[in-house]
């Protein structure tokens, strides 16, 4: 009789150990999926901001020329910064309209992105005051050294449907492959 009782208890213990390992495994997989998705989302939004910042190479060149002439950023005020960025936004939009094949779907509404000018030490000079860790930045070089940074706020929501569609497609592929 004692042997039967021990055998039943042993089976129950085996089920408990199996259930605990199964539960732990499921929890680890769910945690991995959440962390990987969050990391992917963060990397993708930073990539999108850096790519969009690449559209402002003319502005970076003009700012480098300005710094060479003036020797500092002290003469840039809010009005001159607004005029400078507005001019470059119009030029950038005019270039994007000349694409031979426009992207499918409705055209995105182009808003002027919040551009920020920072000095070489990452201190704010012009534009909206956005913390440095929320910016994608492009160096402004003059005389062989970095004299400032052009920053663009990293949008944690997608600017238009194409970025959102791409990210959703990648997420579906991730889940289908067993991620």
CA distance 148 to 121: 8
**What ranges in the chain are assigned the alpha helix state H?**
2-53, 57-70, 78-97, 161-176
Q: Is the pTM of this model over 0.75?
A: no
User: Measuring CA to CA, how many Å separate 150 from each of 28, 46, 80, 120, 136?
Assistant: 41, 15, 15, 10, 8
Nearest alpha carbon to residue 96 among 85, 86, 107: 107
Angle at 78 between CA 51 and CA 138, to 5 degrees: 25
Backbone angles phi, psi at 160, to 5 degrees: -155, 175
CA distance 32 to 67: 47
User: Measuring CA to CA, how many Å separate 73 from each of 98, 150, 161?
Assistant: 34, 12, 37
- pLDDT per residue, tens digit, the chain (179 aa), is 556 555 666 668 888 899 999 999 999 988 988 888 888 888 887 887 888 888 888 889 989 998 999 888 998 888 888 888 887 777 666 655 555 555 555 555 455 568 899 999 999 999 999 888 888 899 999 989 999 999 988 876 655 555 666 777 777 777 777 65
């Amino acid at each position: 009789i004692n042997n039967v009782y021990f055998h039943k208890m042993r089976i129950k213990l085996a089920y408990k150990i199996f259930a605990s390992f199964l539960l732990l495994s499921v929890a680890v997989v769910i945690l991995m999926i959440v962390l990987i998705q969050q990391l992917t989302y963060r990397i993708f939004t930073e990539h999108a901001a850096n790519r969009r910042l690449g559209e402002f190479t003319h502005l970076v060149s003009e700012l480098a020329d300005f710094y060479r002439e003036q020797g500092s950023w002290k003469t840039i005020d809010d009005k001159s910064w607004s005029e400078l960025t507005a001019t470059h936004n119009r030029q950038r939009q005019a270039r994007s309209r000349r694409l031979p094949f426009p992207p499918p779907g409705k055209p995105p509404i182009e808003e002027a992105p919040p551009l920020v000018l920072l000095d070489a030490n990452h201190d704010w000079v012009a534009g909206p005051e956005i913390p440095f860790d929320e910016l994608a930045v492009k160096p402004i070089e003059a005389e062989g050294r970095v004299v400032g940074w052009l920053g663009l706020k990293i949008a944690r929501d997608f600017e238009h449907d194409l970025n959102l569609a791409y990210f959703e497609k990648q997420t579906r592929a991730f889940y289908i492959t067993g991620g």
